[in-house]
Amino acid sequence: MFFLRSGLPEKLFAFLMLGGASIILLALFAFLRMPQILLLDSTRMFLQWLTSELIVFILIFSYPHFIWSYRCAYQQGFGFIRRHFLPLVVAPLVLMALIIVCVVSWNEPVTTLPWVPSVDDTLRTFGFDLHWSLYRGCGQLLLANLFICQTIMAVQHYCMQAYGIAIQGGSDEGLQISKQQKLLIRLNLYALAAMNLCSGYTFFAFFNTSNFVYHPVQFPHFLGVIAIIFFVATSGLLILKIVVPIYKQTSKLPPMVASVPVISVWLWLQPFSQPFGYQAWVVPLAHGAQYLFFALRVENAKLDAITGSSLLKTKVGRIFFIAAMALSLIGIGFLSFNYLPVLFDQKHFVPGLNGNFFLLAAFIFLSLHHYFVDAVVWKHDSQAKVLLQTSVKGSTGA
């Protein structure tokens, strides 16, 4: 691909974009957490700088990958939208309606719902503590549950993207994976998602304000243990049933483009050691980088198919076109995720709705709808899927 031949070596570029950068950052964050390192003035200055510059990385990797999925879906014509009417039309309307309900019922006391304490008490006897009764308003309770729904779908989305990249990367390298091996990979990733779910998503504390506080859900301890055992068992089977046979046949480990996405998602979602802020900020950025890697492949293949413009056939023309489109998507993403929601929050359009409600609502709406959109963008009837299959062999880092 043209953007891989213009600087960084292909394998290094693929490694960093497909999850390698997040692995390096996890090791760096773990090193910085050491007390003798964390107490250094230079370390605190570095972390302060990193926090202040975070918006730059979000603009480059996170926002564009959301907007790119909209481009891939809604620019395929009315026929594609009609075939996928539920995720592309009905889902955003339902999400918008739920957010409106949050606004209307934001300050309506949870005590007006007499069944909430009963549900809390009943599930608590089985080891589940939803903490629904702790929320001050019905709208806040609904927003918290939308957060949980968003994160559950995000975890499933991360896992399935890693799975898809592994299969596609292996195919690009000539690696054939059987149906049984594919099933084993999916089971392993489902176990990983279950482990992550049982953690209760405590990192939502990032979004707490004086007006909204997230209360983590607590699950029975034995469920977490079962998920861990299942994950360990399926990980061992992956080694025995996939890695070992590949090594015996080729005297090599599985291709980097197939293994790095799976290893990285293991590290993203494991609940045992998560440096502060890693799962809330670094993981979405790394996920966005993976997505953009394949979005660029699709755009490159689309430009290959253009016959009417000689400019877009040149290296300079293509770089200019994709750079201009990326800047446009960054601008749209910034307006959608940051500028407009923050402006609405500052204007206090709804009495009593203080804090960062619109910022959280925009994040939930765009994230949840992105998962619905992305579930159809890569289906076999999608132009994006066809273009990916016809893109240049080995562009993932062969």
- Taking the C-alpha atoms of residue 108 and residue 88, their distance in angstroms, rounded to an integer, is 32
Burial (CB count within 10 angstroms: exposed 0-12, middle 13-18, buried 19+), residue 394: middle
- In the 8-state DSSP scheme, what is residue 218? B
pLDDT the model gives residue 46 = 78
Number of H helices, E strands in the chain: 20, 0
Tens of pLDDT, residues 75-84: 888 999 999 9
Tens of pLDDT, residues 177-207: 889 999 999 999 999 999 988 876 766 666 6
- Taking the C-alpha atoms of residue 393 and residue 133, their distance in angstroms, rounded to an integer, is 55
Which has more pLDDT, 191 or 317? Answer: 191
Tens of pLDDT, residues 236-285: 999 999 999 988 888 888 888 889 999 999 999 888 877 777 877 888 89
Tens of pLDDT, residues 339-384: 999 888 888 777 667 678 888 899 999 999 999 999 899 888 888 8
225-230 average pLDDT score: 94
- Taking the C-alpha atoms of residue 54 and residue 57, their distance in angstroms, rounded to an integer, is 5
pLDDT band, very low/low/confident/very high, at 96 (cuts 50, 70, 90): very high
C-alpha distance from residue 3 to each of 7, 318, 394 (Å) = 8, 9, 13
Q: Is the pLDDT of residue 123 over 80?
A: yes
Which has more pLDDT, 49 or 345? Answer: 345
C-alpha distance from residue 13 to each of 10, 164, 317, 337, 395 (Å) = 5, 19, 21, 28, 10
pLDDT the model gives residue 3 = 42
pLDDT the model gives residue 1 = 44
- Taking the C-alpha atoms of residue 328 and residue 337, their distance in angstroms, rounded to an integer, is 14
The segment with the largest mean pLDDT, out of 35-44, 92-101, 338-347, is 92-101
- Amino acid found at 196: N
Determine the 3-state secondary structure of 329 from DSSP.
Answer: helix
Give the pTM: 0.84
Which has more pLDDT, 304 or 325? Answer: 325
